[in-house]
Structure 1
Amino acid sequence: MFGFKIGVVVVVLAALLAVAILVVVVAAIRAGARPSTSLGWRSPGLPPPISADLQNRVRALLAEGRKARAVQLVREETGISPREGKSVVDAIAAGRPLPGDPSPADLASRARELKASGHTQQAVMLVRDETGMGQKEAEAFINAL
């Protein structure tokens, strides 16, 4: 008999939790649940991530002579301003690094600082993460610094 009461309590608690989750979801949907103009992933001074797929689609639009559509596409997918969108598209068109992307020199400087402070393994991991190098290649890169 006691086990039956515990089972009922568990079922009631699970039902209450499900109702609470449902209420939150419905409230979010009714409130619009859309990102504001300042997107949550954006930090001041940091550029938005521009995927390789987006870069390829921008290149295709540029090849068709549709620069304005390319800027619009970048803005739609990242939420950036018209000025930022134009600078991203201009960088892609010119084959330059995207605004805010760390350059290889920046990577070397950061890796050199880690190595100098005695954090050689972290420097190797940094190089591997940002370049896709294997362990031996990254170690050779760090040793050459």
Structure 2
Amino acid sequence: MPNIGPAELLIVAILFAVILVVVIGVVMAARKGGQTPMPVPMQTPTPQGLHELVTGLVRAGRRIEAIKELRGHTGLSLRDAKMIIDGVVAGHDLWSHPAMIRFKPAQPTALPHTGAAGPDLATRVRELKAAGRAEQAVHLVRGETGMGEREAELFVEAL
């Protein structure tokens, strides 16, 4: 067996270090792979297209996807996007939330006309409260007015 000198030991140590760095890099890349950000869509839809996309997802029962799409196209916070989608679930227009003002189309969104104007907010709140659904009444008030939770609770209690 030949003698191993300092030069050979140095080469072996360098090879070991290179292999170790490569392995650590692969492991770090694999860990980071699960944390990739949501891809940015190639084309932002028009306000009408966004409305159709979000309401279609809500109708299909895919609320979480609707929140993700809304956030992805508008940059809204999770809290605002969730409140807006909850409002859409309750039957409100996507553009009725104050956070959507900057994204609102110049022309009103064409929505199906039901033939008659619905009852005002106070009437709907009274109906929910009478049915023992005070929490939904608070949510309705928050969704339509942009009030904070405490303000909406006070409004519902006052009716």
TM-score by length of 1: 0.33
Higher relative contact order (CA 8 A, sep 6+): 2
Q: Between Structure 1 and Structure 2, whose CA radius of gyration is higher?
A: 2
